[in-house]
Amino acid sequence: MKQSVKLVAGNWKMNGLGASLGEAEALVKALQEQAAACRVALCPPATLTERMARVLADGPVELGGQDCHAEASGAFTGSVSAAMLADAGAELVILGHSERRAGFGESDADVAAKVEAALAAGLEPIICIGETLAEREAGQAVEVVSRQVAGSLPSSLSGKAFAVAYEPVWAIGTGLTPTLEQIEEVHAAVRAAMVAKLGEGGRVAPILYGGSVKPSNAAEILAVAEVGGALVGGASLKAEDFLGIIRAA
């Protein structure tokens, strides 16, 4: 397996007013005192991007968004473009999270269009995929994620900086995680689908695991073959928990 630097990204979802900015400051301070051996990113809600950019300025923690519109500008009430995120200080953007796919009806094609927009704005996309519990129980996990990779990754990604995040929907926010064998099986299938889609360009990008990652399970998950980092929801809101995961990486 490649020994590339792992990426640990925190997804604050629709949280972060108040205490979490202080948590971000604590995280930056801790990481300045004890350099992390991995890349660390925080993805706050869009309105906090600029404030977070100031908190994280000159520090080791990268900044990301949680979604963007596929178009560069126009009559899209309520939406934020990739260029707007970049202008506010973001360097990465999470796209196709299962909460967007399920709650906002985003298809693989929608996600692929957003990836193009992110690349055009110079953002590094983190493209999320993952099966539902019903799909897992029907033995379709590998088939589902392979289809999502084929549909959500535009061929323009080849040679660009990006990550894929495998997040089983049933593991998100539930405390449940797949077995290490299941994670290894799906990550291998995701890598194969990336190479099928992008050729050699599909070999380098890290495949993050996401879904109930916490300090107590991070080390064993991050040691699985082809796990190139973690996408962390709940545990990214507390500096101490997030630091525990970063130390494991």
Contacts to ligand PGA from residues 167-186, by CB under 6 A: 167, 172-173
Angle, helix 108-120 to helix 141-152, in steps of 10 degrees: 40
Site string for ligand PGA, 122-161 (x = CB under 6 A): ----------------------------------------
Q: Which residue, 167 or 226, has its beta carbon nearer to ligand PGA?
A: 167
The total number of residues written for the chain in this structure: 249
Based on CB atoms, which residue is closest to ligand PGA, 11 or 83? 11
Min dist CB 196 to ligand PGA, Å, is: 25
- Two structure tokens written together for 195: 């190479």
SS3 track for 33-100: HCCCCCEEEEECCHHHHHHHHHHHCCCCEEEEECCCECCCCCCCCCCCEHHHHHHCCCCEEEECCHHH
Q: Which long-range contacts (CB under 8 A, 24 or more apart) does 14-17 make?
A: 14/45, 15/45, 15/237, 16/44, 16/45, 16/48, 16/237, 17/48
Q: Say whether 187 is catalytic.
A: no
- Cα distances from 45 to residues 64, 85, 236, in angstroms, run 9, 10, 13
167 is catalytic: yes
Catalytic residue among 23, 69, 97, 226: 97
Q: Are 8 and 230 in contact (CB under 8 A)?
A: yes
Q: Among 115, 232, 243, 248, indicate the residue that binds ligand PGA (CB under 6 A).
A: 232
Q: How far is the CB of 117 from ligand PGA (least distance, A)?
A: 21
Is 66 near ligand PGA (CB under 6 A)?
no
Least CB distance from residue 57 to ligand PGA, whole Å? 25
Task: State the minimum distance, in angstroms, from the CB of residue 211 to ligand PGA.
Answer: 5
Q: Is 233 in the site for ligand PGA (CB under 6 A)?
A: yes
> Can you give the binding site for ligand PGA, defined by CB under 6 A?
11, 167, 172-173, 210-213, 231-235
Catalytic residue numbers, as ranges = 97, 167
